[in-house]
């Protein structure tokens, strides 16, 4: 059995909803673990890879098969004029870990590029005082397991940009811990597919005072594609003055497509602002009729609607991801 012929899991409903996926749905012992080094468009100092404890069996398998790592330190007060491109030249299943430490008052944009090979990736980022980091990634095709986490210190800013397209199976987890006062984060995610299944989850945890988070996720599904799109904002007891917002929207283009958008709030301090919204809906027939009545063909009309729908997330991303 190959990666391409793995049976795909189904959505499972109960108290909550999730992908009914077993380990074999994501991986078999790979015939070849890729060890081709990453290339980076601009050389920066290295850092030290942190020791982590696996939280589940899939993460333990990632650690067992880990084939390559990349560590980067962004120097204090460093600013780059254009994005730093991290390229994954994978030749086989890629089990990799990228670790970035952003020193105080630095500002950098990273864009990660990878092919359609099976990808099992972990990204850990430490954003120190008043540093500003953007990390964007794009994956198309195949199987994706991605776990990304950032800790943001006083006055720091962490931006995540995530694009996933036409995968057979995608499992993406992004978590940001706003540890320091006046720290902030934003997440912009887009997933698009005609088949396969997508399990997308983003978490923002407010620990410091006067912290701010923004989470926007957009999905477009057609054919038999299925998706679960979850977002979580947690505001801890001492995080007074915090402001959290999240929005998950999914557009369905066929009767066979299926999706759930699940926003969650856990608020342990009353001196905060927090809001959320979610929608799962087909194309508005009135919007389609309006465009067609002005001479736009049905396919072109749908494309324009999709473009406008995704634009609120895409316009915040580096152009390399749009």
- Residue closest to 190 by CA, chosen among 168, 172, 169: 172
Q: Is 259 helix (H, G, I), strand (E, B) or coil?
A: strand
How many domains does the chain divide into?
A: 1
Mean pLDDT of 142-167: 95
Local confidence band at 290 (pLDDT 50, 70, 90 cut-offs) = confident
**Is residue 315 situated within a structural domain?**
no
Judged against a pLDDT cut of 50, whether residue 305 lies above it is answered with yes
State the DSSP H helix or E strand holding residue 19, giving kind and residue range, or none if neither.
strand 17-20
CB atoms within 10 A of CB 15: 4
Residue 203 lies in a domain: yes
Quote the pLDDT of residue 86: 97
Place of tokens 């069996």: 57
Percent of the chain having pLDDT more than 70? 91
**What does the block give as tokens for 46?**
């290295």
Q: How high is the pLDDT of residue 153?
A: 98
* Structural domain contains residue 233: yes
Q: How far apart are CA 118 and CA 77, in angstroms?
A: 37
Inter-CA distances, 163 with 13, 113, 200, 265, Å: 26, 11, 11, 24
Sheet strands side by side (includes 132-140): 39-40, 84-88, 107-114, 132-140, 157-165, 184-193, 212-221, 243-252, 273-282
Which structural domain range is residue 100 located in? 30-285
CB atoms within 10 A of CB 56: 10
Residue 249 lies in a domain: yes
Average pLDDT score over residue span 282-311? 86
The whole-number pLDDT of residue 1 equals 33
CA distance 28 to 45: 35
pTM of the prediction? Answer: 0.91
State percent of the chain over pLDDT 90: 68
CA-nearest of 18, 19, 321, 9 to 190 is: 321
99 touches 47 (CB < 8 A): yes
Cα 145–Cα 149–Cα 151 angle in degrees, nearest 5:
175
Instruction: Tell me whether residue 238 is in a domain.
Output: yes
Max mean pLDDT among 61-65, 75-79, 226-230 falls in: 75-79
Residue 28's pLDDT band, with cuts at 50, 70 and 90, is: low
What is d(CA 122, CA 124) in angstroms, rounded to the nearest whole number? 7
In a domain, 173, yes or no: yes
Asked if pLDDT for residue 155 goes beyond 60, the answer is yes
Residues with Cβ within 8 Å of residue 207, at least 6 apart in sequence:
177, 178, 179, 236, 238, 239
Residue 3 has pLDDT above 60, yes or no: no
177: in domain: yes
Residue 298 lies inside a defined structural domain of this protein: no
* 191-212 per-position pLDDT tens digit: 999 988 899 999 999 999 999 9
- 38 is written with which tokens? 């990453």
């Amino acid at each position: 059995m190959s990666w391409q012929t793995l049976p795909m899991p189904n959505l499972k409903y109960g108290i909550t909803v999730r992908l009914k996926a077993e380990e074999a749905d994501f991986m078999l012992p790979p015939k070849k673990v890729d060890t081709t080094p990453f290339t980076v468009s601009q050389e920066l100092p290295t850092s030290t890879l942190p020791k982590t404890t696996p939280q589940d069996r899939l993460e333990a398998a990632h650690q067992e098969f880990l084939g390559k790592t990349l560590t980067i330190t962004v120097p204090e007060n460093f600013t780059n004029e254009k994005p730093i491109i991290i390229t994954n030249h994978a030749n086989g299943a890629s089990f990799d870990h990228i670790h970035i430490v952003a020193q105080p008052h630095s500002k950098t944009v990273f864009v990660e590029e990878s092919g359609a090979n099976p990808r099992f990736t972990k990204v850990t980022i430490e954003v120190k005082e008043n540093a500003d980091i953007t990390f964007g990634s794009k994956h198309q095709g195949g199987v994706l397991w991605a776990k990304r986490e950032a800790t943001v210190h006083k006055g720091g800013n962490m931006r995540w940009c995530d694009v996933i397209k036409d995968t057979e199976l995608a499992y993406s987890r992004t978590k940001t811990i706003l540890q320091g006062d006046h720290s902030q984060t934003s997440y912009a995610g887009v997933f698009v597919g005609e088949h396969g299944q997508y399990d997308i989850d983003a978490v923002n945890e407010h620990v410091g005072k006067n912290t701010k988070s923004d989470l926007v996720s957009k999905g477009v599904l057609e054919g038999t594609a299925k998706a679960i799109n979850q977002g979580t904002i947690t505001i801890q007891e001492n995080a007074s003055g915090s402001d959290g917002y999240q929005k998950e929207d999914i557009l369905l283009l066929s009767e066979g497509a299926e999706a759930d958008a699940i926003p969650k709030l856990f608020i342990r301090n009353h001196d905060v602002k927090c809001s959320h919204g979610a929608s799962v809906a087909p194309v508005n027939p009135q919007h389609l009729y309006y465009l067609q009545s002005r001479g736009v063909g049905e396919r072109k009309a749908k494309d324009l609607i999709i473009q406008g729908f995704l634009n609120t997330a895409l316009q915040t991303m580096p152009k390399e991801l749009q």
